[in-house]
Chains A and B, each alone.
Chain A
Amino acid sequence: MAARRAASSFLSRFLLTRPSPASPASPAGKSALLGAGALLHRFSTAPAPAAATAEEPIQPAVEVNHTQLLINGNFVDAASGKTFPTLDPRTGEVIARVAEGDSEDIDRAVAAARRAFDEGPWPRMTAYERCRVLLRFADLIERHAEEIAALETWDNGKTLAQAAGTEVPMVARCIRYYAGWADKIHGLVVPADGAHTVQVLHEPVGVAGQIIPWNFPLLMFAWKVGPALACGNTVVLKTAEQTPLSALYVANLLHEAGLPEGVLNVVSGFGPTAGAALCSHMGVDKLAFTGSTGTGQIVLELAARSNLKPVTLELGGKSPFVVMDDADVDQAVELAHQAVFFNQGQCCCAGSRTFVHERVYDEFVEKSKARALKRVVGDPFRNGVEQGPQIDGQQFNKILRYVQSGVDSGATLVTGGDRVGSRGFYIQPTVFADAKDDMKIAREEIFGPVQTILKFSGMEEVIRRANATHYGLAAGVFTRSLDAANTLSRALRAGTVWVNCYDVFDATIPFGGYKMSGVGREKGIYALRNYLQTKAVVTPIKDPAWL
């Protein structure tokens, strides 16, 4: 044990003398870090105690027990035997090495899902029985909530308070919501124009391929797997390479809850390999993807070129948050702040264009600056921390480039703009004011803790400017006026309009984008139609008593 500690402390010092992995000047830094990280992992799956930085990363209270692929009810190595590391974004160090799925593994997973659907018990049991499995799953999630939250925070960097206090409960709630739909899936019996009886059956669609992102690993798991399973389908899930751990943990619980083998298969891996294989697979009946708009376009193309599988897409956004002149400024500042900084700014629906009416503009900017300065950045495992690290070096670098672009294009850098500390991927809460619509920071999705404030003077103007984007995921409206609320909520071309609130994600509320923010809706009753086929059954009636 002492030898182990000595070894890991040696390695931590070794790591710290490497050039900073985040600085653009040392592209080699990342792979060197990974090499050291791999060594580190042989000795310990816990992050090494950091001697030289101000903050000692807190040891997560969970062990990583599942790192293989989950296919046909068994944890297995990748066909190639390859593994890849998943990193702790607080330090850039390796948490664990995980099986790396590629097209052969996708083939195996799809075959298992196909067999489970075509021949297995899942679609053939009563909906009530499926409901009970899902309810047991939700109970198991609650029983292991602490470990699950710790794992999620470790792999993603979101605060433990958020993971444990909000997200894990939301995951259980989402599963229970869909468990309750399982035995209530109805089609219509419609009147015919003649003597026919017409029944419309809603059948499970078959094998669903699902690709989820890294920003809300478990919540995205629930939004996809919940409705798919409740409708009687089988699933092949490809997790994000940045965050493969929590899906494996809960998928194991789902099997403990009684899910038959092959019904849910989880393949960790990368987009261009495992992801592409799933999109192009001729044996997949339906595809659902959440991620960037650029990747979404590739996904849609692959689906079209293979077997025209129907696709739902949840993509990026550049959502406007409109603060009207009747705003209570303090409330508006806080809401707008949360809208953009929540989850380290890594939210597809982040309110990332803050439009403020000129009458309250100056006060708003001052107070937003103060709020951003107050934001506590640090180890997401520590109590009181509001913002953890960004997910990885790639995102980290991209965000800092956007900050530079903001400065270069003449926006006023009100506060922030730099990294925090010298380890991991922490960035200061950053606020730009006096931004113009054509600046990069006002047009492109930054996916980081960067607020961009723009001034407007009238309703028609802000509607036009808010809608002048290829995106259309969400919008926030801050006003006390009933008519302004009605006008704005109808005029904004976005899938969710939050009036005097933001990021309200109840299980019943459909969520999705207009325009290049996506196709289709998740959550609520609306998600069911993603996972059902519609079949009309028509028979003549002899001597109908009525028509």
Chain B
Amino acid sequence: MDCAGKTFETRDPRTGEVIATIAEGDKADVDLAVKAAREAFDNGPWPRMTGYERGRILHKFADLIDSHVEELAMLDTVDAGKLFLVGKIRDIPGAAHLLRYYAGAADKIHGETLKMAQRMHGYTLKEPVGVVGHIVPWNYPSTMFFFKVGPALAAGCTVVVKPAEQTPLSALFYAHLAREAGVPDGVLNVVPGFGPTAGAAVASHMGIDKVSFTGSTEVGRVVMKAAAESNLKPVSLELGGKSPVIVFDDADLDMAVNLVNLATYTNKGEICVAGTRIYVQEGIYDAFVNKAAKLAKKSVVGDPFNPRVNQGPQVDKDQYEKVLKYIDIGKREGATLVTGGKPCGDKGYYIEPTIFTDVKDNMTIAQDEIFGPVMALMKFKTVEEVIQKANNTRYGLAAGIVTKNIDIANTVSRSIRAGAIWINCYFAFDPDAPFGGYKMSGFGKDMGMDALEKYLQTKTVVTPLYNTPWL
């Protein structure tokens, strides 16, 4: 539906051209959406269906996603520049998989009977929290949509989603499929628009019971502030990162080089958990730099619809210019540019896979999240040293460890202050594995059964016992 009649354009980052004109939601539209979600929660069928019935509808929703895989992958490719083949084979089926995980969890939300230290019978109930606001980023439009909507719907909440202004298309398609699957009206509302308008309206709405945001740390701060200043709605934040990947001497060199290449350049570096600070132990450092540069140079940057392409364009002009600026800063601060560093082609927002060495820990490119295909390679000597360096960041989202040694794996994984530790692998996401950050990478978990907690209230119910053979 269309409110004030305003629209905005969404562009194809391969060319900068307009794909479509989208209704632009503002505060008034968010108000309407919240009203619908509120009505659906307070009086509609959704929270009053059994978990099993909600699960059946979510399973149908997942089946519908499976039957529209290509269209959905295409939408994310033209909207965000993501690789079409990866979308078709991994991202979109992954979204259906995640939804099925929560469909199967909907009837497995448990409270507990308690052991009271009095003559009382007590138990907890896990109730849906109510109307949830979701602010979804542009880097993984489909995945992020279901990270949030999956558990929220399974828990019996109703939802208002504000997709990123860069990537509204697949979210709108999902809303359409949800309706087809039998999700009742008002349960899933999608309001495309901009952060300072629609997003802010969600964060500060008095009628929203919980807000979940994924995006940059700066905007996360704004969301949390708005939540505090409005109705103190609980907030969960999944923010930026500057994740370290630590390669020890005993690592298989080729495996490590491939892993690191994946960690930094996947999705053109537009990924919160990108491994962007690469610490390589001195024993293999030189060989590593050599192979890493060779591999980066071999990367095929181009049209993401082409199955032979490794890397598509950055999502839009702003991001593109920001990345190039950081590359410039890197050069000026004295890091050594080993490969890349330049835009690719003269149309769209393509950037070469870039590697800097001789990076000092306090350089901007070692501290700031660049969100582009830029790797900072650093040398280290000892385990204690690299643990300290790895933790020397305001972020704490993920970390990679490459080693064959059981003691190093166990010690280092406990020592790094980050929410996801990947040993001899990277991006090892799984529907059953809770994911979220430490420190300024945010708080609260997505995925796994843990994510349901964000959308539930715990109510403790107690009543006296007058006659009981046991306590």
Contacts and interface: CB of A to CB of B under 8 A. Distances in A.
Interface of A: 127-128, 131, 135, 173, 176-177, 179-184, 186, 197, 459, 482-483, 486-487, 490-491, 507-508, 525, 539-546
Interface string B67-78: 000000000000
A183 B407 contact: no
A183 B55 contact: no
Interface string B429-471: 0011000000000000000010000000000000101111110
A180 B105 contact: yes
Contact of B415 (A176, A181, A507, A545): A545
Given A180-B104, A486-B463, A541-B414, 15 more contacts: A131-B100, A135-B59, A176-B52, A180-B55, A184-B104, A459-B467, A483-B467, A486-B465, A486-B468, A487-B465, A487-B467, A490-B469, A508-B107, A541-B410, A544-B411
Contact of A183 (B52, B59, B432): B432
Contacts of A490: 465, 468-470
25 contacts: A128-B97, A128-B100, A128-B431, A176-B55, A177-B52, A180-B55, A181-B108, A182-B104, A183-B104, A184-B101, A184-B108, A197-B410, A459-B467, A482-B463, A483-B466, A486-B465, A486-B466, A487-B466, A491-B467, A507-B52, A507-B107, A508-B107, A541-B411, A545-B411, A545-B414
A547 to B, nearest CB: 9
Given A179-B104, A184-B104, A184-B449, A542 B465 contact: no
B179 interface: no
* Best-buried of B55, B97, B105, B469 by chain A (most CB within 10 Å): B469
Contacts of A183: 101, 104, 431-432
Nearest to A196: B410
Nearest to B432: A183
Contacts of B407: 540-542
A542 B411 contact: yes
The 10 closest A-B pairs by CB, nearest first: A180-B104, A545-B415, A487-B467, A490-B468, A542-B407, A545-B414, A542-B411, A541-B410, A543-B411, A483-B466
Contacts of B467: 459, 483, 487, 491
B35 interface: no
B406 interface: yes
B406 A539 contact: yes
Nearest to A487: B467
Contacts of A543: 411, 415
A197 B415 CA distance: 13
Contacts of A135: 59
B291 interface: no
A199 to B, nearest CB: 11
Nearest to B56: A176
Nearest to A173: B52
Given A483-B466, A490-B469, A545-B415, A177 B107 contact: yes
A525 B110 contact: yes
Contacts, number: 81
B126 interface: no
B468 A491 contact: yes
Interface of B: 52, 55, 59, 97, 100-101, 103-105, 107-108, 110, 121, 406-407, 410-411, 414-415, 431-432, 449, 463, 465-470
Contact of A486 (B52, B100, B121, B410): B121
A183 to B, nearest CB: 6
A195 to B, nearest CB: 10
Nearest to B416: A545
A539 B409 CA distance: 11
A541 B52 CA distance: 43
Contacts of A541: 407, 410-411, 414
B125 to A, nearest CB: 14
A487 B52 contact: no
A101 to B, nearest CB: 34
B145 to A, nearest CB: 20
A184 B101 CA distance: 9
Nearest to B109: A508
Contacts of B97: 128
B389 to A, nearest CB: 15
A344 to B, nearest CB: 28
A282 B469 CA distance: 42
B469 to A, nearest CB: 6
Contacts of B432: 127, 183-184
Nearest to B102: A180
Given A541-B411, A543-B411, A545-B415, A487 B468 contact: yes
Nearest to B414: A545
A458 to B, nearest CB: 12
Contacts of B469: 490-491
A544 B414 contact: yes
Nearest to B468: A490
Contacts of B110: 525
Nearest to A127: B432
Contact of A542 (B121, B410, B449): B410
Nearest to B449: A184
A202 to B, nearest CB: 13
A525 B111 CA distance: 13
Contacts of A540: 407
A176 B105 CA distance: 11
A197 B121 CA distance: 36
B155 to A, nearest CB: 14
A135 B96 CA distance: 14
A313 to B, nearest CB: 24
Contacts of B108: 180-181, 184, 508, 525
Contacts of A507: 52, 107
B451 to A, nearest CB: 12
Contacts of B107: 177, 180, 507-508
Nearest to B466: A483
Listed residue (A176, A177, A180, A459) with the most chain B CB atoms within 10 angstroms of its CB: A180
Contacts of B465: 486-487, 490
A65 B415 CA distance: 62
A184 B59 CA distance: 17
B221 to A, nearest CB: 28
A116 B195 CA distance: 55
Nearest to B448: A184
A490 B59 CA distance: 38
B156 to A, nearest CB: 15
A110 B55 CA distance: 35
Contacts of A179: 104
A135 B100 CA distance: 10
A131 to B, nearest CB: 7
A487 B105 CA distance: 33
A540 B411 CA distance: 10
A439 B383 CA distance: 78
Nearest to A546: B414
A327 B407 CA distance: 67
B177 to A, nearest CB: 19
A545 B241 CA distance: 22
A540 to B, nearest CB: 8
A349 to B, nearest CB: 21
A539 B100 CA distance: 35
A181 B411 contact: no
Contacts of A184: 101, 104-105, 108, 432, 449
B104 A181 contact: yes
Nearest to B384: A543
Nearest to A460: B467
B435 to A, nearest CB: 16
B225 to A, nearest CB: 31
B55 to A, nearest CB: 7
A186 to B, nearest CB: 8
A482 B105 CA distance: 31
A450 B144 CA distance: 59
B267 to A, nearest CB: 23
A131 B468 CA distance: 42
B411 A180 contact: no
A314 to B, nearest CB: 22
Contacts of B103: 180
